Chain A
Amino acid sequence: MNDLPNRARSISSLRDFLELLEDSGQAITWSDPVMPEPGVRNIAVAASRDANGAPAIVFDNITGYPGKRLAVGVHGSWDNIALLLGRPKGTTIRELFFEIAGRWGDQEAQISFVPEAQAPVHECRIEQDINLYDVLPVYRINEYDGGFYIGKASVASRDPLDPDNFGKQNVGIYRLQIQGPDSFTLMTIPSHDMGRQIMAAEREGVLLKIAVMLGNHPGLAVFAATPIGYEESEYSYASAMMGAPIRLTKSGNGIDILADSEIVIEAELQLGERELEGPFGEFPGSYSGVRKAPIFKVTAVSHRRDPIFENIYIGRGWTEHDTLIGLHTSAPIYAQLRQSFPEVTAVNALYQHGLTGIISVKNRMAGFAKTVALRALSTPHGVMYLKNLIMVDADVDPFDLNQVMWALSTRTRADDIIVLPNMPAVPIDPSAVVPGKGHRLIIDATSYLPPDPVGEAHLVTPPTGDEIDALSKRIREMQLGALS
């Protein structure tokens, strides 16, 4: 398929993307009867063992949910991410990283508005006797979750204090726990946009309306998951990064939403109220605690005919969460670091949303990599997430862990580390001293430069380049051929 880039740019909905995945052998339909628990979880976990090649799975025969469809693993492998970016299956993670990093500032946003009456998302409308359990084939994602979670919701809201400002609309991914037929809690922290908006609405006593979009344009979850500037619209950003148009319409409660999403839940914050939420199996691979979280009341639901409920398996990695957000966690750190230090050559923050990151850099002087590491800690994502940093030279590919281990083995002295005690930490990091506060670790695995008396070792330089790549491909083909 030579038209992969064009095909990727023509995607406007989850359905379009599932079709592309299916054509490429990257989506399967599970039509055998399956119990919501533990069947769906078991299948999702089994699929996510193959981080490179796992297909999306569409369930259409879940016991007790006749006629309903559920999709998991849509972003669950590097091959699926490659197809979304217009690249063939088998594209390396390093190539995908540079594909995303190269898109910055490249394209203009292409936003169009569709009248509500013509928007597919409004084909079916529920305004009375709302029961989320009637619409969504939910299941317990991890066995000790406190309830039934919507794990892949893109939540849109307007700034409650500046509701007419398009740029101050927020779209973010938050976890929602269903709390009865027409209510849900939303988990956030004060530093996230939604946390800020909830606190502002409660302080000023003003209404906060939200629209929860499910089963969305697959670019939105990739590009709206990581914080960007507060005044930048996530829709514009996602459109520019996809190099493709995005169609918006209005939700019934007046918020700009994707016109081609599968399901939209409209809801209002219950000012000042909190309900018990959690635990939830989170991305570090451990459960969050039980807390009292803001609660929203559902006012209406719109959905396409025969909607597909899209959800995610998240828990102990690798999971879809890692492939969904890994590259777009890494690329902004890379771009922000290069503004100060063009010597930075790549950033791999794929591990647990960047709790561990590997940065390659051309050392400008002795100890320079440590300076770059400290700068990384002050990037927007680094402030909370970058807990362990491994610094390697530019001749080491941070996406190739065998090379990273070589650098650790041969270029690290035990005193080439920095421990920064009592720093900010993500509250759900299980290693934190107390939730929200912990230590940072920097390991300098770069080579020595003057005035260090050791200097660089005399390196063996094995042959590299196109010829060697072609030879290793040929060896692999000969090996496969020997089997047939």
Chain B
Amino acid sequence: MTTTICGRCKSSGAVTDHQGRQDGAVVWTILRCPTCNFSWRDSEPARAIDPAVRSADFAVDAGDLQRYPKILQQ
């Protein structure tokens, strides 16, 4: 089942960008988190996309997006 909770920042509201089909049937869905821009395919291994088991080292804090530096500042 496809969840719309982001595995990286745990925000809800992911949007569907694409669905892969094989012989007419949907075999996976690509989702994107509008909060942290994480994109994933719902067929990926849980350790990459499931917030319950994904490594905290790669989490993004949705409440503190200001901390990420902006490149190419004038």
Contacts and interface: CB of A to CB of B under 8 A. Distances in A.
Nearest to B43: A35
A140 B30 CA distance: 11
Given A37-B41, A64-B22, A181-B18, A140 B48 contact: yes
Interface in A186-210: 187-190, 195, 198-199, 202-203
A276 interface: yes
A188 B28 CA distance: 32
Contacts of B18: 131, 133-134, 181
A173 to B, nearest CB: 17
Contacts of B15: 180
B70 A292 contact: yes
Contacts of B39: 146-148, 178-179
A177 B40 CA distance: 12
A289 B43 CA distance: 25
A279 B58 contact: yes
A294 interface: yes
User: Which of B38, B41, B48, B72 is the most central at the interface, judged by chain A CB atoms within 10 Å of its CB?
Assistant: B72
A133 B30 contact: yes
Interface in A272-308: 274-277, 279, 287, 289-294
Contacts of B41: 36-37, 140
Contact of A143 (B8, B36, B48, B72): B48
B22 A199 contact: no
A256 B18 CA distance: 31
- Categorize the interface residue count of chain B: 20 to 34
A405 B15 CA distance: 55
A189 B47 CA distance: 31
B66 to A, nearest CB: 10
Given A133-B30, A143-B45, A147-B39, A291 B70 contact: yes
A448 interface: no
A292 B74 contact: no
SS class, residues of chain B in contact with chain A: mixed
Say which size band chain A's interface belongs to. 35 or more
Contacts of A146: 8, 37-39
A179 B74 contact: no
A290 B71 contact: no
Given A131-B18, A143-B45, A148-B39, A274 B32 contact: no
A64 B28 contact: yes
B48 A63 contact: no
A314 B44 CA distance: 19
A274 B70 contact: yes
A66 interface: yes
Given A146-B39, A276-B36, A276-B60, A64 B72 contact: no
Contacts of B22: 63-64, 66
Nearest to A203: B74
Contact of A65 (B20, B60, B70, B74): B20
A64 B42 CA distance: 12
A61 to B, nearest CB: 10
A136 to B, nearest CB: 10
Contacts of B47: 143
Nearest to A199: B72
Nearest to A179: B37
B3 interface: no
Contact of A144 (B37, B55, B72): B55
A231 to B, nearest CB: 22
A38 interface: yes
Contacts of B17: 131, 133, 180-181
Contacts of A177: 37
Nearest to A65: B20
Interface in B56-73: 57-58, 60, 65, 68-72
A199 B74 contact: yes
**Which 5 pairs of residues, A with B, have the shortest CB-CB distance?**
A64-B20, A133-B18, A147-B39, A292-B70, A276-B37
Given A64-B43, A180-B17, A279-B58, 9 more contacts: A63-B20, A64-B20, A65-B20, A143-B47, A146-B39, A179-B32, A188-B71, A275-B37, A291-B68
7 contacts: A63-B28, A181-B18, A188-B72, A274-B70, A289-B68, A290-B60, A291-B71
Interface of A: 35-38, 63-66, 131, 133-134, 140, 143-144, 146-148, 177-181, 187-190, 195, 198-199, 202-203, 274-277, 279, 287, 289-294
